[in-house]
Amino acid sequence: MVMSDMESAPAAPARIAGVDEKILAERAREAASTRRDVLFDVSRLTVSYADVPALKGVSLEIYKNFVTAFIGPSGCGKSTFIRCFNRMNDLIPSANVDGTILYHGIDLYGPEVDSVEVRKRIGMVFQKPNPFPKSIYDNVAFGPRVLGWKKDLDARVERALRHAALWDEVKNRLKASAYSLSGGQQQRLCIARCLAVEPDVLLMDEPASALDPISTTAIEDLMHELKREYTIVIVTHNMQQAARVADMTAFFSVEVDEEQDRRTGVLVEYDATPTIFTNPGDKRTEDYVTGRFG
Amino acid sequence: MTAQDATAAAQPEPIRLRGERRRWGEDVVKGILALCALVSVATTIGIIIALVEPSIEFFREVSIVDFFSGDRWAPLFTPASFGIQPLLVGTLVVTFWACVVCLPCGLGAAIYMSEYARPRVRNVLKPALETLAGIPTVVFGFFALTFFTPLLQDLGLGVNVFNVLAAGLVVGVMLIPVVASVSEDAMSAVPQELRDGAYALGSTRLQVSTRIVVPAAISGIIASYMLAISRAIGETMIVLIAAGGIAKITFDPREQSQTMTAFIGATGIGDIPTGSIEYKTIFAVGLTLFVITFAMNMLSIRLVRKFREIYE
Amino acid sequence: MSVTTESLGSRSHGDRVRGTAFYVLLLVSVTIGFLLLGVLLVDVIRKGIGYVDPTLLNEPNSSDPNKAGAGPAIRGTIYMMILLLVMVVPIGVGTALYLEEYANRERWYNRLLEINIQNLAAVPSIVYGILGLAFLVRGIGLGRVLLAGALILTLLVLPTVIVASREAIRAVPDSIRQGAYALGATQWQVVWRQVLPASIPGIATGSILALARAIGETAPLLLVGALTYVAVNPTLLGSYTALPVQIYQWIARPQEEFRVLAAAGIIVLLVILLTMNAFAIWLRNRYQRRW
Ligand SMILES: Nc1ncnc2c1ncn2[C@@H]1O[C@H](COP(=O)(O)OP(=O)(O)OP(=O)(O)O)[C@@H](O)[C@H]1O
Ligand SMILES: [Mg+2]
């Protein structure tokens, strides 16, 4: 268990347009006041599709009650990586995961571990809102029902919707189809759906990229709220978003093998968000966050 | 409150990621579904056994050379004769006249639906064609016998009361939807860019349809033709009702003639004794029919797959 | 006089004529089927409508055309429809679920299974009759009974139901499955609570169309003994007849009166089938979801 050993936030000016120094300073202060408990310990993780590695040799730690952001260019394996945390890659027949991810010290890919149990604790929100073709209520109740939690279903649904800051908007039409909601509301419904099964961790793969700015703000505010109880891992293409919500940021990049015509994702740098954005240790990170990439 | 306490409070029970028990239910369900799938496999095996076993017995009594080279089909007469050629010719002639109708009309209907019809028209046409395809063949047979044949007679074609022409043409009408729907699928899979490119060069709709879309969809169209021919060969009720019951070698469509399917139908109706040679002829003819249609179907399936691979 | 305007304004004469001729040909191709269908309907109704009466619907067949009816045949068809529904839908949907949700496409046996089903869909229906004759009627000695007929029709339309169900299941977007898995649902929970409910309209449409096709089938039933005189209500293990077979029997008689009776029977059959078709199409338009 590591107590905060955060490098003091560098005073260097923010070099990226749109990322507010004040926000970064706040991030740094917050991070400094939070203890770091390792929740996930990833070591030498390699994921291949049909024996072609898409992501290679990733090692990092994810801390409890932190928001951790993965950023990087398209195709560098962010989605691939985040899907490893709740074994969603098991559903892709050609995918193969090497290396270990320890969760509370247990290897997620150990022989005894049941992927269904893993997903109960580690929920996931997808890029495009994917509500079930059912009523709002049934969407949220699906998880508890599947787990056989029949008691106090109404209260549980309400709690989840309140948590997801959606209750007031839908409380009068719980029986309406989930498709009648706006995109932003649908995404919060999907978050509520995850919260209803009381997970430990929320994985979010570009949760706001299909949404308008106002809905995006709503989701970001929600993340701030939720991280008190949950650990959040988020993939984002939006660097301002990473700067606004994330405590830790991991930057991934693509290594191109010209000979074999292969593109493999690698972890370039992983650090406190202010460091990544103001004082990155790697040239590639700097190019990316300052927009000089590609 | 120390950090340790906070952790303990948040994490009261130890983490368990094992399944509570092995999910037997999941395996059982998968097993049941696989059993459902096995029903179709069993059907194929059953068909093959049902056809092959009595056929072997049949060919013990009738030489296979006589069967295929004989030109007289008279299994119920004494002396019996088992030359299948008359049935093959009957089948061939019916299939020919069916093709005369269904190949051009089916293709034309497909081109119309995919290249000319507006979406609203198409939305009406497709279910309408489906409905046409859903008319029972016994109804078409009735139509061929009681409406089409008299019509041909009135036209002065000198057709017999039972004749191959009426039967074949009506089989063709029945198969228009088959050709149309498979061909149309293939044509609508042709990428729009191909058409746009041709239109941009000033091509007319006729040129785009015939020089761009049809060639691009050709394997799908051929597949639809194969399927239609196979269906024509296998059609029973229309020929049983309207084409007559005399097996003879004739290419004159105004005459009556028997097809393989009509023979099987006509013979199978009666309560013939199981071990008899008449009973076994059903299977020998059925096997011949099955082999022919099977070959055509496989070809058709292949062509459709090839087509899908190109554009998907 | 400007050449440009002229060539822009109208295509060459030949092009236009050819284009129009082609268009007319296409219209003929499309309409010829419906034209004949129309003629057929008018012809059948003209001939048979006078005979569609309680006698036709209730009485058994008779050698006197005025007393003959299709009562047992109609009931036989209805019973068969129920039996079919009970057998073909579960097996068909089960197979479709296996192929879409469980089977690994890489495996040769699963690919073979798919080709097998495609091929079965195109096997001539009379061959299914032979199968029934060899195995059900003679082989296991079931005899010429209703159950044998229903079993054969089940196998006959099974591929149609499978194909339609697979299409409906495939139309359910993967994001729904992923969403359910991410909540800790097991595979069967995902299939049973998400995939299946979402694909029910498509499955129902396909099943009704398949059922309609099955009860119009005549040829295979001839071989499994539906062509008999039945005076009483058919039972599961008793002799039976079906409406299309009864129609065939009447057509096959030389007397004109029986032809008329056949036309009346056809009207009844078509009313049943067209109702089913219309219902299926309505169902599809009503519940079709564009994801
Ligand atoms: N199901 C799959 N099968 C095969 N290859 C895949 C699959 N999913 C992803 N890949 C490959 O893995 C690599 C990483 O993809 P991934 O989706 O993880 O990237 P990403 O960083 O999330 O990109 P984006 O920012 O565009 O979402 C890509 O080269 C992609 O083609
Ligand atoms: Mg991604």
SS3 letters across C120-169: HCCCCHHHHHHHHHHHHHHHCCCCCCHHHHHHHHHHHHHHHHHHHHHHHH
In a domain, A4, yes or no: no
Cα torsion through B238, B244, B247, B253, rounded to 10:
-80
**Three-class SS state of C171:** coil
At position B285, the amino acid (one-letter code) is V
- Closest Cβ–Cβ partner in B46, B132, B300 for C37: B132
- Structure token pair of residue A144: 């508890």
Name the nearest CA neighbour of A293 among A258, A244, A245, A252. Answer: A252
User: For residue A106, which residues of chain B lie inside 8 Å, CB to CB?
Assistant: 15, 17
Q: Which pLDDT tens digit goes with each residue over A146-157?
A: 988 888 899 999
- List the residue whose alpha carbon is closest to atom 4 of ligand 1: A49
B244 versus C166: the higher-pLDDT residue is: C166
Q: What's the CA gap between C290 and A69, in Å, rounded?
A: 34
pLDDT at B6: 42
pLDDT at C11: 63
CA distance B169 to chain C (A): 11
Residue A13 has pLDDT above 60, yes or no: no
Q: Which pLDDT tens digit goes with each residue over C172-194?
A: 999 999 999 999 999 999 999 99
Q: Which helix (H) or strand (E) segment is A234 a member of?
A: strand A231-235
Mean pLDDT along residues C219-243: 80
What global pTM score does this model have? 0.88
DSSP A124: E
Domain count along chain A: 1
CATH class of C54-287: mainly alpha
Q: What's the CA gap between B158 and B171, in Å, rounded?
A: 20
Contact status, residue A17 vs residue A70, Cβ threshold 8 Å: no
In a domain, A90, yes or no: yes
Mean pLDDT along residues A75-96: 91
Averaged pLDDT score across all residues of chain A: 86
Whether omega before B79 lies within 30 degrees of 0, making that bond cis, reads: yes
Averaged pLDDT score across all residues of chain C: 87
Residue C163 has pLDDT above 60, yes or no: yes
Parse chain B into domains and list their residue ranges. Answer: 73-307
List per-residue pLDDT tens for chain B, 312 residues long: 444 444 444 444 566 777 666 678 888 999 999 999 999 999 999 999 999 999 999 999 888 888 888 888 887 777 778 888 889 999 999 999 999 999 999 999 999 999 999 889 888 888 888 888 889 999 999 999 999 899 999 988 878 889 999 999 999 999 999 999 999 988 988 888 888 888 888 888 888 888 889 998 998 899 999 999 999 999 999 999 998 888 888 888 888 889 999 999 988 887 777 778 888 899 999 999 999 999 999 888 888 887 777 665
CA dist B186 → A71, B304, C160 (Å): 43, 8, 19
Residues with CB under 6 A from ligand 1: A 49, 54, 74-80, 92, 94, 263, 265
From the DSSP assignment, how many helices (H) and strands (E) are in chain B? 15, 2
CA distance B82 to chain C (A): 19
From the DSSP assignment, how many helices (H) and strands (E) are in chain A? 11, 10
Q: What's the CA gap between B160 and B171, in Å, rounded?
A: 18
Most A-contacting residue of C183, C190, C195, C196 (CB-CB within 10 A), to test interface: C183
**Residue in A49, A234, A251 to alter for ligand 1 test, most ligand atoms within 8 A of Cβ:** A49
Q: Counting one residue from A and one from B, how many pairs have CB atoms under 8 Å apart?
A: 29
Residue A138 — φ and ψ, nearest 5°?
Answer: -65, -30
Parse chain C into domains and list their residue ranges. Answer: 5-51, 54-287
Rounded to 5°, angle at Cα B290 from B289 and B291: 95
Residue B205: CB partners within 8 Å, gap ≥ 6? Answer: B115, B116, C19
Q: A65 is in which domain, residue-wise?
A: 21-289
Q: Which pLDDT tens digit goes with each residue over A109-148?
A: 988 888 888 999 999 999 999 999 999 999 999 999 998 8
Taking CB atoms and an 8 Å limit, are A142 and C180 in contact across chains? yes
pLDDT at A144: 94
Q: Which pLDDT tens digit goes with each residue over C72-126?
A: 899 999 999 999 999 999 999 999 999 999 998 888 898 899 999 999 998 999 9
When the candidates are 1.10.260.40, 1.10.3720.10, 3.40.190.10, 3.30.565.10, the CATH number that belongs to B73-307 is: 1.10.3720.10
Q: Which helix (H) or strand (E) segment is C244 a member of?
A: helix C243-251
Residue A189 has pLDDT above 70, yes or no: yes
**Three-class SS state of C201:** helix
- Structure token pair of residue C32: 């010829």
Mean pLDDT along residues C201-225: 91
Q: What's the CA gap between A252 and A236, in Å, rounded?
A: 11
Q: Which helix (H) or strand (E) segment is A262 a member of?
A: strand A262-272
Please classify residue B80 by burial: count the beta carbons closer than 10 Å to its beta carbon, then call 0-12 exposed, 13-18 middle and 19+ buried: middle
Q: Cα–chain-centroid distance for residue B249?
A: 25
pLDDT at B15: 67
In a domain, A15, yes or no: no
User: How, if at all, do strands A231-235 and A201-205 pair?
Assistant: parallel
In a domain, A61, yes or no: yes
